[in-house]
Amino acid sequence: MRKEIRFSGFGGQGVALIGFILGKALTIYSEAEAVMTQSYGPEARGGASSVNLIVADEWIDYPFVQKPDILVALSPEGYTQCRHTAAENAVIITEENLVTPFDGDEVYRIPATRLAESLGRRVVANMVMLGFFAAVTGLVSVDALKQAVTSTVRPKTVQLNLQALETGYQYPVEKHIYRSGS
């Protein structure tokens, strides 16, 4: 098993944290190997941001994502910049209220920001997306993610982050084929 994953968004959305927690869940709280690289635009917040992970059941000999098998887009720019890099049959997951997929794309969508706002803090939209990622892909258990979240975030934010993770995990998983004008 080898999967290439790319999370894309903009600075301030917690894309790097998603990658770190997922990598930790896979390597420390599961039996997988993983490597992570990240890229930022020159801006501290609002610029392009992406995190790439390779996950495998054996030693990873080349640490750079070539054609992601899974693309998660949290921003319109992240989607348009990274969509063409994804493998032909890639699983595509988008932030429903921010990203408009290309015509004909089959995507899994979740209103992560709106769900995070309903929990009281927009900042946990990344954890909502991470929970949804786990539900869609089955690549990592929600229990491993919960352990990684608990051991990573500040103690006073653990409960909110776990609640956001669970909210994303419980969101209905449906594949949508995007048609412009519909």
pLDDT, mean of each 10-residue run, the chain (182 residues): 90 86 94 85 64 90 89 92 91 93 92 96 94 96 96 96 97 87 59
Which residue shows structure tokens 């790319």? Answer: 6
Largest CA distance in the chain: 46
Please tell me the pTM assigned to this model.
0.91
103-106 own/partner pairs: CB under 8 Å, 24+ apart? 103/178, 103/179, 103/180, 104/177, 104/178, 104/179, 105/177, 105/178, 106/175, 106/176, 106/177, 106/178
Q: Per-domain residue ranges for the chain? A: 2-176
Residue 115 CB partners (closer than 8 Å, separation 6+): 125, 128, 164, 167, 168, 171
Q: Write down the CATH superfamily of domain 2-176.
A: Pyruvate-ferredoxin oxidoreductase, PFOR, domain III (3.40.920.10)
Q: How far is CA 14 from CA 57, 65, 72, 181, in A?
A: 27, 20, 13, 31
DSSP class per residue in 73-94: ESSHHHHHHHGGGS-TT-EEEE
168 touches 127 (CB < 8 A): yes
